[in-house]
A and B are shown apart, each in its own frame.
Chain A
Amino acid sequence: MDRAVQQTDYDAFSCKISAINKKYLPCQKELEFCEMKGFSELHMAYVHRLKSLNKRAFGKVQRAVQSGLPLMNYGTYLRTVAIDVECKSFLQNAASNSKVQVLNLGCGSDLRMIYFLEQYPHLRWIDLDFAESVSLKAKILRTEEQLKKVVGELRDASETEYVSDRYFLKSCNLNNIEKVLELLTEITDPEVPTLIITECVLCYMDLPKSQALIHKLISLYKSGTWISYDPIGGDDVNDKFGSIMQTNLRESRQLELPTLMVFNSTKKYAQRFEEVSKSTEIETMWQYYVRQVTQEEKNRLKSLQFLDEIEELQLIFSHYVLLKSSW
């Protein structure tokens, strides 16, 4: 099961590369507001290293780029931009001369730390994931000068992780809450404003473990914001999307989504945070697309590939949510 979850990193990363390849990413917001300079170049440099280090993962990227369905590119665009913008907003609101930290739980091959570490000298960034993902990412960061330059020189000689002055890429199973707390207590400061990101992470965890993670971390840090992106099963009696998704992923790749039908609406998904948090906002990715993406940007996206099905887009995106919860 852990392996099935770990493998989803390659899906997410492949989708991102496909979206870059088809020019969905980066968007103006990422370039200007998030100041993500050299977005495509850095991602391509990472892919280039991946090719020599993990042929299977690289194969997956290649296949994704070849098939690259518009719907997948749209959805990848939305989740990436939405989280980047939230991330930037959080960091911008933190006082420029005071410390701030970001925990990217289940980070996988995500590279957003690169941009924000470069912009915010007082930022400490913690990337946590399964050992296999971490060791691959660490290897790539160690050997790719462009990336290494930003995350900072290695502070210890560990082969399988990457630790510099401000960047911590550590292996850790999020299901083991004691270990997570132990590690975070060691490398983070509970008094410092903290941003926690879970991008398609909570959905793979059992209910008690995911709730424990949310509760323990929110009580560990004095103040912070949690950004979470996940699928939801849908709460309409005629809505079969969630149950079909569970069956499809179980049968094709032994991947389980234990809480998909538990937190099956925006309301229920938000409730898992509301018990311990001060304010929580949530919207589906379809709502995000309709409300947050400007007409100009919609036109740009439309020009990239022929989109064959708006109804399908609406159906699928209505089953993914972005939550922001602050305490």
Chain B
Amino acid sequence: MKLDETITLLRQGKHVSEETVFVLCLRAQELLMNEANVTHVDTPVTICGDIHGQLHDLLTLFDKSGGVEHNKYIFLGDFVDRGFYSLESFLLLLCYKLRYPDRITMIRGNHETRQITKVYGFYDEIMRKYGNSNVWRYCCEVFDYLSLGAIINGRVFCVHGGLSPDVTTINQIRAIDRKQEVPHEGAMCDLLWSDPDEVNTWSLSPRGAGFLFGKNEVEQFLHTNDFELIARAHQLVMEGYKEMFDGGLVTVWSAPNYCYRCGNVAAVLRIEDTLDRNYMIFEAVPAQDDVGNAIIPTKKPQMDYFL
């Protein structure tokens, strides 16, 4: 498999053979297998939130933030589902990771599971594009090897969802056997599903899984582990990012005009060597280019308005 050729194809949203996907996923698995549950990354690095198959916006993200040729990135998960190009977005990131292993860190999101992708579009996308589910299975195998978190310069903790009542220290995350489908409860589930909120203590999440956690839990966690920031994604933020709890936690959202209908902007967060935070805001690509050709297909496979 020629990596650069595949990257060119993927960037254009073109079809990649089943065989190529198989090899790509296998090589990615070998690479990910050796990563710890929580990986260490040095500054400067750009933190990216949910992508959700919005390939064209992912390309904008790389363009506007300097590109993988010269910069390091941490992706906080939710590469797939909802958008039209889940496969291309996920594979492009895998290709970049294989091509520049130390510049891309990929953390697992709550959508990187068999169960959720069957409901939220990735599975259907593969059936539409390949007529069988093989490619979906290859990708799900990779999902199981994605790491659960990252730590930047020992000071910034990156995770998809948030905290867990079962996790006080990073060592407890290191002890998880992550190579499995995301369980419905427990530490691994919470890291991928929980949300910060104005609550006094651990509370039930309005989602089907995870917990709500508040300022107390965040401060406790930061103090115990000597961190200054939790960077997470998982929740749509209309302004692209949102800091909470006196700057102890930030939500970064990187899918502009989410689901092609929400009208939000997106953001990425660059952590400098000084640990200064620089947010870069970007908007969605237009549905058509300037000569009227569709960039994003408008014949949507699913209905998304109440009519």
Footprint of B on A, CB under 8 Å? 8, 11-12, 14-15, 63-64, 66-72, 75-76, 79, 200, 231, 238-241, 243-245, 247-249, 251-252, 255, 298, 302-303, 305-312, 315-316, 320
4 nearest interchain CB pairs?
Answer: A240-B263, A8-B307, A311-B236, A306-B208
Query: Which residues does chain B contribute within 8 Å of A305, judged by CB atoms?
Result: 119, 208
Closest to A250 in B: B298
Question: Which of these binds chain A: B12-20, B90-98, B108-116?
Answer: B108-116
**Do B115 and A251 touch across chains, with their CB atoms under 8 A apart?**
no
CB of A81, distance to nearest CB on chain B (Å): 13
**Do B263 and A241 touch across chains, with their CB atoms under 8 A apart?**
yes
Query: Which residues does chain B contribute within 8 Å of A306, judged by CB atoms?
Result: 115-116, 119, 207-209
Query: Which residues does chain B contribute within 8 Å of A243, judged by CB atoms?
Result: 263
Given A200-B306, A240-B263, A310:B208 Cβ within 8 A: no
What CA separation (Å) do A178 and B81 show in the bound complex? 49
Query: Which residues does chain B contribute within 8 Å of A66, judged by CB atoms?
Result: 124
B205-221 CB mask vs A (1 if < 8 Å, else 0) is 01111000000000000
Question: Which of these binds chain A: B58-66, B67-75, B99-107, B252-260?
Answer: B252-260
**Do A312 and B236 touch across chains, with their CB atoms under 8 A apart?**
yes
Which of A244, A247, A308 gathers the greatest number of chain B CB atoms within 10 Å?
Answer: A308
Query: Which residues does chain A contribute within 8 Å of B110, judged by CB atoms?
Result: 308
What CA separation (Å) do A75 and B303 show in the bound complex? 12
Q: Does B299 contact A (CB under 8 A)?
A: yes
Query: Which residues does chain B contribute within 8 Å of A308, judged by CB atoms?
Result: 81, 110-111, 116, 120, 207
Given contacts A11-B305, A69-B119, A312-B236, 16 further A-B contacts (CB under 8 A): A12-B307, A15-B306, A69-B304, A70-B119, A231-B305, A238-B238, A243-B263, A244-B257, A244-B261, A247-B287, A248-B305, A303-B208, A307-B206, A308-B111, A310-B206, A316-B261
**Do B236 and A249 touch across chains, with their CB atoms under 8 A apart?**
no
Which of B236, B262, B303 gathers the greatest number of chain A CB atoms within 10 Å?
Answer: B303
- 5 A-B contacts, Cβ less than 8 Å apart? A66-B124, A69-B120, A69-B304, A75-B306, A310-B206
CB of A76, distance to nearest CB on chain B (Å): 7
**Do B303 and A64 touch across chains, with their CB atoms under 8 A apart?**
yes
CB of A293, distance to nearest CB on chain B (Å): 12
Q: Does B2 contact A (CB under 8 A)?
A: no
Q: Does B183 contact A (CB under 8 A)?
A: no
What CA separation (Å) do A255 and B307 show in the bound complex? 10
What CA separation (Å) do A238 and B239 show in the bound complex? 10
Q: Interface size on B (CB < 8 Å)?
A: 35
Query: Which residues does chain B contribute within 8 Å of A69, judged by CB atoms?
Result: 119-120, 302, 304
Closest to B120 in A: A308
Query: Which residues does chain B contribute within 8 Å of A75, judged by CB atoms?
Result: 306
Q: Does B29 contact A (CB under 8 A)?
A: no
**Do B206 and A302 touch across chains, with their CB atoms under 8 A apart?**
yes
Closest to A60 in B: B303
B162-189 CB mask vs A (1 if < 8 Å, else 0) is 0000000000000000000000000000
Q: Does B154 contact A (CB under 8 A)?
A: no
What CA separation (Å) do A8 and B303 show in the bound complex? 11
Given A308-B116, A308-B207, A11:B303 Cβ within 8 A: yes
**Do B301 and A67 touch across chains, with their CB atoms under 8 A apart?**
yes
**Do B236 and A241 touch across chains, with their CB atoms under 8 A apart?**
no
Query: Which residues does chain B contribute within 8 Å of A12, judged by CB atoms?
Result: 306-307
Query: Which residues does chain A contribute within 8 Å of B300, judged by CB atoms?
Result: 252
**Do B306 and A239 touch across chains, with their CB atoms under 8 A apart?**
no
Q: Does B235 contact A (CB under 8 A)?
A: yes
**Do A72 and B287 touch across chains, with their CB atoms under 8 A apart?**
no
What CA separation (Å) do A226 and B173 show in the bound complex? 57
What CA separation (Å) do A185 and B235 show in the bound complex? 53
**Do A15 and B303 touch across chains, with their CB atoms under 8 A apart?**
yes
Which of A14, A245, A255, A309 gathers the greatest number of chain B CB atoms within 10 Å?
Answer: A309
CB of A223, distance to nearest CB on chain B (Å): 30
Closest to B111 in A: A308
Closest to A75 in B: B306
B residues 37-70 near A (Cβ < 8 Å) are none
What CA separation (Å) do A82 and B303 show in the bound complex? 21
Query: Which residues does chain B contribute within 8 Å of A8, judged by CB atoms?
Result: 307
Specify which of A15, A241, A309 is in contact with B261 (CB 8 Å cutoff): A241
Query: Which residues does chain B contribute within 8 Å of A11, judged by CB atoms?
Result: 303, 305, 307
Closest to B235 in A: A311
**Do B236 and A309 touch across chains, with their CB atoms under 8 A apart?**
yes
**Do A244 and B263 touch across chains, with their CB atoms under 8 A apart?**
yes
What CA separation (Å) do A64 and B306 show in the bound complex? 12
What CA separation (Å) do A306 and B306 show in the bound complex? 20
**Do B301 and A200 touch across chains, with their CB atoms under 8 A apart?**
no
CB of A83, distance to nearest CB on chain B (Å): 12
CB of A283, distance to nearest CB on chain B (Å): 16
B271-307 CB mask vs A (1 if < 8 Å, else 0) is 0000000000000000100000000001111111111
What CA separation (Å) do A309 and B298 show in the bound complex? 23
Given A15-B303, A241-B263, A315:B236 Cβ within 8 A: yes
B115-147 CB mask vs A (1 if < 8 Å, else 0) is 110011100100000000000000000000000
CB of B83, distance to nearest CB on chain A (Å): 13
Query: Which residues does chain B contribute within 8 Å of A247, judged by CB atoms?
Result: 287
Closest to A238 in B: B238
**Do A245 and B305 touch across chains, with their CB atoms under 8 A apart?**
yes
**Do B124 and A307 touch across chains, with their CB atoms under 8 A apart?**
no
